[in-house]
Structure 1
Amino acid sequence: MQALSGLDASFLFLETNKIPMHIGGVAILEGTLDFEHFKQFLQERVHTVPRLTEKLVTSPLNVDRPHWSYDKDFDLNLHIHRTALPRPGGWAELRYLASKVFSLKLDRDRPLWEFTFVEGIDCIPQVPEGSVALISKIHHSAFDGKSGAQLMSMLFDVSPKPRKVPPAVERKKDKVPGAISMLTQGAYNLASRTTKLPGLLWETGKATVKTSYISKVHGIDMPTLPFTAPPTRFNDIAGPERIWDSSILDLGRVKAIRKAVKDATLNDVVLTICAGGLRRYLMEKNELPDKPLVAMVPVSTRTDDQKNDMGNQVTAMYIQLATNEADPIKRLETIHINTVIGKLYHEAVDAESLMGFAEVIPFGLAGVAARYYSRANIAKKHNPIFNLIITNVPGPQIPLYMAGHKLHVNMGTAPIIDGMGLIMPVFSYNGSISISATSASNLMPDMKQFVRYVRESANELEAAAMEALQQQPADEPIAKNTTEDDTTKK
């Protein structure tokens, strides 16, 4: 058995019935993929990602973190669901179904993942009639965006002809210790982890001194700190119903915008597009704060040696999004400076030390605290730690195929919690980039409008960049009209 890391375990104790903690997304596959063919395809490959056949074993009294253990009763049929969109089988119907699927938490008595196979996609622009979609949910305690690449490798091939995979080898059942043994080991682990706290505090103190030194020597501002974000509608108590939508942009043209600001990166441009959408959305509601919104941007700490490891290996930067700036080019310039400062300080601080605090938190106590935080609505009683999360996961820039069917587009989702009710996963793939958004229906009932504003922000930023570069504007908008249908429901 393998114990969860402190960071992985945090996604378990944060989870409640109304706060599911899964990542996943919506993948659209071109052509009519037969369900039985898909199930057989998955049956032949699921063993290549061991975590997909492992379930949680909890410690008595939650004295220790759970372990992953091979599920000898694993049944693929319990993890694959089949459905079809109602007519006309368009984007509105797909996003509605995805929102419903994302609202339900995973069953902890089984391996923590599910696929929903969706037929009847007949009316989405640029997608062949009769295509299918795959709605995926995988618990965040098992995968992060980077380790999810192993799952992608299992599902997809680089040619229409599926590659051969090694046959499954029978796995032995893990030996699960008895309750007394687990209690004893858990108590020992708890005590030994606590001894690491002084060292972590020492490293944190050194990091604080180091960042102050960098600020004084180089004459630059300190990076954005937690609890300095202005309150918004996203930072209220999240209801149980999720709402999801996505916009698709042309990746090449998004990259070209970088030239408008010296040394700007693709990530800077993506943050600026998101910021413009947020600004428009809040202005329409007369809710735009004077202070800029703050995004938490996850940063992978995964080394080359750890690229195939499961679980989560991330820290974070806090980036001001310049939502108080009307000019899109000035907004890009400001965000570029903010990310440079954030990266400078992030490199100066030992990421392993920051992650180490998650290792010393007692699992049972953390779970009680998280549930109390939710029940007592404590998120209403302090400034937001940050306003939203924007996470950018680069993907392959070549076509991928599942069981011989081309992946048309890949779009993401990730968890929200009380006080942090908006997350925007960004996926790039084969010349396009998807900017998705997940929230709660009580916080953003008009998600469709927000996603439209993200597209309008991208078009505005590109037009401003072309003007700054003295180039002719493009004939077509940068945002692909794949996910827009004004005649259908939100």
Structure 2
Amino acid sequence: MRRLTSLDAFFLATEDERTVANVSALVILERKRANGRRLTLHAVKSLFAERLHLLPPLRWQVVEVPFGVAHPSWVDGTVDLDFHVREFALAGPGDDPCLAEQVASLAAEPMNRSRPLWEAYLIHGLSGDRVALLIKLHHAAVDGVSGGEILSTLLDESPERREITPVAARQTESVPNRLGMLLRGLADVPRQGLAAVGAARPALTHLDKVATIRSLPGISEITGLAGRFTIGGRTESGPIQRLVAPRTAFNARITPNRSLALVRLPMPEVLQLKEAHGATVNDVVVALCAGALRTWLTAKAELPKERLLAMVPVSVRTASERATFGNKVGTMVVPLPTDEADPVTRIRSCRISLLKAKEQHAAQPRNLMQQANDLVPPVLFGPAMRTVLRLASSRVLNPAANVIISNVPGPRTPQYLAGARVLANYPVSTIVDGMALNITLFSYLDSLDIGITVDSEQVPDSDLLAQALVNELDLQLRLLKPAAAKRR
């Protein structure tokens, strides 16, 4: 058995009838494999069966502790591939908007907690002689990096599947009864207390950097008080900048309804901007998102005068923690230059904002998000987390941030799944109360594959935001040409 950390448990605790913590990959594939045969459900199931021993999160089943006296545990259980791996065909034209609509609905469905928390769907009926595989995982088991590790285990670098060393018959764990789980939970209470004591100083002295609660009343005061009364506590050099997010239409309590927009940007053009401005790929990506948001909100007459704030996830996983799965993640809050009309200035501004955010993130405890969660006793954890999210999305308060932007690097070489060539790999992420807009980017080959996940009630026009991203890149490239001509 493996006890969930408080950060892992957070993603279970926040789920309700409106919120799910599913993270997915939508892999677009050639329908025919290298051997000339079509990709079938049988081939996909065989792939999962062959590599299941290398993929612990696909075997983990969550087991709750009675009365919530401890966080749940993972049990390495049995896997029924007939349940987890399914197929269906799209109705309609089979284009990307049709695919996105179906995937958004599937990704928003909660998963059966009596089974390991993953699903895979082979989707037929796509135009252009393509198929798709939607791999749906739960955020309690994986973060962005560990989710990528699962995907890389399933994919190959050539049409021929690499040799996988077979293993002896796996011994599954039986699920303990309620009394057994209660006794295990009670035995864990002293460790919980020690974890809370150990987390108190680093968490309280940096509480205003915890993205989910930073906008709540009194957080800054608690942080300042803890810093003054803690030996070796946090110190700040220079004036402290309090970032306040303006309110937008998509910063409210979410509904159960989801929409997804898929868009691709050419990586060579992004790299061209990177070199021209002396920036990083991430600087350019964030600047493109800022420009697209500015254009989109302006067209709706909803652009705030103040800069929007982006919540940017950051992996804090060390090399020794690779292949351990679970969540090792922090967040940065980054101002977006949505108030800046000049596109070139937007890239420079993002460069400065991200550098400052990285410096602040480096100065805080590596596992700050988990340490903040460790302060809450498990018996109060679920209600406390849901209450925090409700408060953070209240119309009375400013949101913690306006939008989630995540940029995940991927392979630059061709990938294959069961012999079928991967054409694109779109991330499908999650949204939460107060932030009904998530832009996640995944680089593959010479493209940035982007999934824009939204609450369709609050953001009914995510396709226009996707087009604004394409237009923003075109605008930035056009501005490079006169500058290059002047240098000549």
Q: Would you say same fold, with TM above 0.5?
A: yes
User: Residues 260 and 329 of structure 1 are in contact (CA less than 8 Å); yes or no, is this contact kept in structure 2?
Assistant: no
Map 1:323-342; keep pairs closer than 5 Å: 323-342=338-357
Q: What letter corresponds to residue 109 of structure 2 in structure 1?
A: L
Tell me the equivalent position of 2:57. Answer: 51
Q: 1:374 & 1:144 partners in 2: Cα distance?
A: 20
1:95 has 2:100 as partner: yes
Q: 1:38 & 1:179 partners in 2: Cα distance?
A: 36
1:238 has 2:254 as partner: yes
Larger displacement relative to structure 2 (347-356 or 147-156): 347-356
Tell me the equivalent position of 2:109. Answer: 104
User: Residues 193 and 360 of structure 1 are in contact (CA less than 8 Å); yes or no, is this contact kept in structure 2?
Assistant: no
Please give the secondary structure, in 2, of the residue aligned with 1:29: strand
Q: 2:81 & 2:327 partners in 1: Cα distance?
A: 25
User: Residues 223 and 338 of structure 1 are in contact (CA less than 8 Å); yes or no, is this contact kept in structure 2?
Assistant: no
Tell me the equivalent position of 2:17. Answer: 17
User: Residues 329 and 367 of structure 2 are in contact (CA less than 8 Å); yes or no, is this contact kept in structure 1?
Assistant: no
User: Residues 13 and 363 of structure 1 are in contact (CA less than 8 Å); yes or no, is this contact kept in structure 2?
Assistant: no
1:158 has 2:157 as partner: yes
Tell me the equivalent position of 1:388. Answer: 403
Please give the secondary structure, in 1, of the residue aligned with 2:145: coil
1:430 has 2:448 as partner: no
1:350 to 345, 365, 370: 365
Tell me the equivalent position of 2:68. Answer: 62
Tell me the equivalent position of 2:86. Answer: 81
Tell me the equivalent position of 2:125. Answer: 120
* Percent of paired sites with the same residue: 33
1:450 to 459, 462, 465: 465
Q: 1:269 & 1:341 partners in 2: Cα distance?
A: 16
Q: 1:332 & 1:284 partners in 2: Cα distance?
A: 21
Q: Give the drift of 1:199.
A: 4.1
Q: What letter corresponds to residue 237 of structure 2 in structure 1?
A: S
Q: What letter corresponds to residue 402 of structure 2 in structure 1?
A: N
1:250 has 2:266 as partner: yes
1:7 has 2:7 as partner: yes
Q: Residue 297 and residue 466 in structure 1: after superposition, are their counterparts in 2 closer, same or farther (change >3 A)?
A: farther
1:361 to 348, 373, 376: 376
Q: What letter corresponds to residue 26 of structure 2 in structure 1?
A: V
Larger displacement relative to structure 2 (177-186 or 445-454): 177-186
Please give the secondary structure, in 1, of the residue aligned with 2:327: coil
Q: Give the drift of 1:363.
A: 3.0
Tell me the equivalent position of 2:237. Answer: 215
Q: 2:47 & 2:57 partners in 1: Cα distance?
A: 18
User: Residues 229 and 383 of structure 1 are in contact (CA less than 8 Å); yes or no, is this contact kept in structure 2?
Assistant: yes
CA RMSD of superposed structures (Å): 2.3
User: Residues 6 and 360 of structure 1 are in contact (CA less than 8 Å); yes or no, is this contact kept in structure 2?
Assistant: no
Q: What letter corresponds to residue 244 of structure 1 in structure 2?
A: L
- CA deviations on 1:130-151 (whole Å, 9 max, x unpaired) are 2100112100001111011221
Tell me the equivalent position of 2:40. Answer: 34
Q: What letter corresponds to residue 19 of structure 1 in structure 2?
A: T
Tell me the equivalent position of 1:477. Answer: none
Q: What letter corresponds to residue 115 of structure 2 in structure 1?
A: R
Tell me the equivalent position of 1:287. Answer: 302
User: Residues 7 and 369 of structure 2 are in contact (CA less than 8 Å); yes or no, is this contact kept in structure 1?
Assistant: no
Tell me the equivalent position of 2:287. Answer: 272
Tell me the equivalent position of 1:187. Answer: 186
Q: Give the drift of 1:418.
A: 1.2
Q: 1:416 & 1:183 partners in 2: Cα distance?
A: 33
User: Residues 54 and 111 of structure 1 are in contact (CA less than 8 Å); yes or no, is this contact kept in structure 2?
Assistant: yes
User: Residues 211 and 348 of structure 1 are in contact (CA less than 8 Å); yes or no, is this contact kept in structure 2?
Assistant: no
Q: 2:384 & 2:483 partners in 1: Cα distance?
A: 51
Q: Give the drift of 1:349.
A: 1.6
User: Residues 159 and 421 of structure 2 are in contact (CA less than 8 Å); yes or no, is this contact kept in structure 1?
Assistant: yes
Q: What letter corresponds to residue 342 of structure 2 in structure 1?
A: D
Q: 2:456 & 2:369 partners in 1: Cα distance?
A: 33
Q: 1:453 & 1:443 partners in 2: Cα distance?
A: 18
Q: What letter corresponds to residue 155 of structure 1 in structure 2?
A: L
Q: 2:445 & 2:172 partners in 1: Cα distance?
A: 41
User: Residues 316 and 330 of structure 2 are in contact (CA less than 8 Å); yes or no, is this contact kept in structure 1?
Assistant: yes
Q: Give the drift of 1:404.
A: 1.1
1:136 has 2:135 as partner: yes
User: Any gaps of 5 or more consecutive residues in structure 1?
Assistant: 123-128, 473-490
Q: TM-score, normalising length from structure 2?
A: 0.88
Q: Residue 196 and residue 152 in structure 1: after superposition, are their counterparts in 2 closer, same or farther (change >3 A)?
A: closer
Q: 2:182 & 2:486 partners in 1: Cα distance?
A: 68
Q: Give the drift of 1:166.
A: 2.0
Q: Residue 177 and residue 302 in structure 1: after superposition, are their counterparts in 2 closer, same or farther (change >3 A)?
A: same
Q: 1:86 & 1:183 partners in 2: Cα distance?
A: 48
Q: Residue 438 and residue 206 in structure 1: after superposition, are their counterparts in 2 closer, same or farther (change >3 A)?
A: closer
Please give the secondary structure, in 2, of the residue aligned with 1:45: helix
Larger displacement relative to structure 2 (57-66 or 33-42): 33-42
Q: Residue 37 and residue 229 in structure 1: after superposition, are their counterparts in 2 closer, same or farther (change >3 A)?
A: same
Q: What letter corresponds to residue 255 of structure 2 in structure 1?
A: G
User: Residues 5 and 370 of structure 2 are in contact (CA less than 8 Å); yes or no, is this contact kept in structure 1?
Assistant: no
Tell me the equivalent position of 2:479. Answer: 464
Please give the secondary structure, in 1, of the residue aligned with 2:313: strand
Q: What letter corresponds to residue 310 of structure 1 in structure 2?
A: F
Q: What letter corresponds to residue 107 of structure 2 in structure 1?
A: F
Q: 1:109 & 1:87 partners in 2: Cα distance?
A: 34
Q: Give the drift of 1:92.
A: 2.0
User: Residues 199 and 372 of structure 2 are in contact (CA less than 8 Å); yes or no, is this contact kept in structure 1?
Assistant: yes
Larger displacement relative to structure 2 (265-274 or 99-108): 99-108
Q: 2:370 & 2:391 partners in 1: Cα distance?
A: 27
User: Residues 312 and 404 of structure 2 are in contact (CA less than 8 Å); yes or no, is this contact kept in structure 1?
Assistant: yes
Please give the secondary structure, in 1, of the residue aligned with 2:110: coil
State how many pairs are aligned. 458
Q: 2:283 & 2:154 partners in 1: Cα distance?
A: 30
Please give the secondary structure, in 2, of the residue aligned with 1:137: strand
